[in-house]
Amino acid sequence: MAVKQKRVLLTGATGFVGRAVQQRIVADGQYDLTIAVRRAVPVANVVRVVQVPELTAQTDWSAALQGVDVVVHSAARVHVMNETSADPLAEFRKVNVDGTLALGRQAVAAGVQRFVFVSSIKVNGEGTELGRPYTADALANPSDPYGVSKYEAEQALLALAHETGLEVTI
């Protein structure tokens, strides 16, 4: 009897980290992979593509989440080199906190078992003392809007996990 492959939804699959994750998942050949992208992109024929125009609290993930067992969420608003917003933190929160939590809630509603959140070392701060690397026990100390928003997303997902039983890995 054949074992059913886990179905994985990967967000941010065309980004720096997401591209590497996508390549690894495809190379492993053990998962049925769906990627969510903003614009159509050429991909390996072993990957299903779903277009999702943006990552906000209003994004409808229902098509992307159909039959999914695991979400690997690497999409985010990242370092903006020429920020033009009067309130950069609010802009980061729209995507990285509100958009992530909306995806998490919809994942729960769709029966997803595990949510893997690709966060950032920026949650821990801007650097460590020489010879004192960050550890799993390090306290959060984000100092820029990106780091703050990723930390807030972590906390929101952990609360969602506590409320619903969704397995969250950060």
Q: How many residues does the chain have?
A: 170
Q: Which pair of tokens denotes residue 45?
A: 């024929």
* DSSP string over 8-33: EEEESTTSHHHHHHHHHHHHH--EEE
Q: How far apart are CA 96 and CA 87, in angstroms?
A: 15
For residues 65 and 102, is the Cβ–Cβ distance under 8 A? no
Catalytic residues: 146
For residues 96 and 153, is the Cβ–Cβ distance under 8 A? yes
For residues 80 and 96, is the Cβ–Cβ distance under 8 A? no
Query: Reading across the β-sheet that carries 31-37, which strands appear in turn?
Result: 47-51, 31-37, 6-11, 70-73, 114-117, 167-169
